[in-house]
Amino acid sequence: EAGVVQSPRYKIIEKKQPVAFWCNPISGHNTLYWYLQNLGQGPELLIRYENEEAVDDSQLPKDRFSAERLKGVDSTLKIQPAELGDSAVYLCASSLVGQNRNEQFFGPGTRLTVL
Amino acid sequence: KQEVTQIPAALSVPEGENLVLNCSFTDSAIYNLQWFRQDPGKGLTSLLLIQSSQREQTSGRLNASLDKSSGRSTLYIAASQPGDSATYLCAVFTGNQFYFGTGTSLTVIP
């Protein structure tokens, strides 16, 4: 079974430029999460989708960040314009909420460097 | 708001030693607790998941326990190996959100 797929793995951009990250969750998983992880810290939730609905986006900086999950499968996270402080690892995870375990599985992440 | 703490932040042990990593959380109303491993530059790999009704889970040399009433979980690693060197994170699931600790960075010295 394929795991959570993310692309690109690395991205270097100049500040004020736009950037987009893509995530394909595990097949059949109805819940998708985008996290931000700074060095030495645990992941922090940006947005959570259940199917195609964003059910928790309270931590998403909506002035510059946006996300979509069309058809309730893969998802895109966008930053426009990027700032220096956005340099971090962006992690995508998925789970099957409603099952007994609700175990979360992560992709490899996208390391963003804003110059 | 749920807060998750992991102590120590870093741990260094000689190969072969048994060790315990700690995770504490402030709100006992959790659905489950999950332990992850993260290698440098990589994503998180799920190690063990304990449901709120369970006391422990085992996988190979790993054993995770859960004491929900006291807000604590431990990850026991037996006979540590250099390949166990990584950052270990715990996360609690409240039914709608996961809360992560900051992790314990483990180094196993050959």
A88 touches B at CB < 8 Å:
no
The pair of three-digit structure tokens given for residue A53, joined into one six-digit string: 């609905």
Mapped onto helix, strand or coil, the DSSP state of residue B84 is helix
- pLDDT value, residue A1: 63
For residue A4, list chain B residues with Cβ-Cβ distance below 8 A. 43
Phi, psi of B17 (to 5 degrees): -80, 150
Strands (E) located in A1-109: 5-7, 10-13, 19-24, 31-37, 44-50, 53-56, 65-68, 75-79, 88-95, 105-106
- pLDDT value, residue A90: 97
d(CA B9, CA B105): 6
The pair of three-digit structure tokens given for residue A73, joined into one six-digit string: 């499968």
For residue B98, list chain A residues with Cβ-Cβ distance below 8 A. 33, 45, 104
For residue A1, list chain B residues with Cβ-Cβ distance below 8 A. none
- pLDDT value, residue B1: 83
Select the residue from A47, A50, A95, A106 to test the B interface by mutation, using most B Cβ atoms within 10 A: A106
* Residue B96 confidence class, pLDDT cut points 50, 70, 90: confident
Nearest residue to A48 (alpha-carbon basis) of B67, B96, B2, B92: B96
Q: Output the tens digit of pLDDT for each of chain A's 115 residues.
A: 679 999 999 999 999 999 999 999 999 899 999 999 998 899 999 999 999 999 989 889 999 999 999 888 999 999 999 999 999 999 999 998 766 667 899 999 999 999 9
**What is the number of alpha carbons within 13 Å of residue B41 lying toward its C-beta?**
2
Q: What is the pLDDT of residues B20-75, one digit of tens each?
A: 999 999 999 999 999 999 998 889 999 999 999 999 999 999 999 999 999 999 99
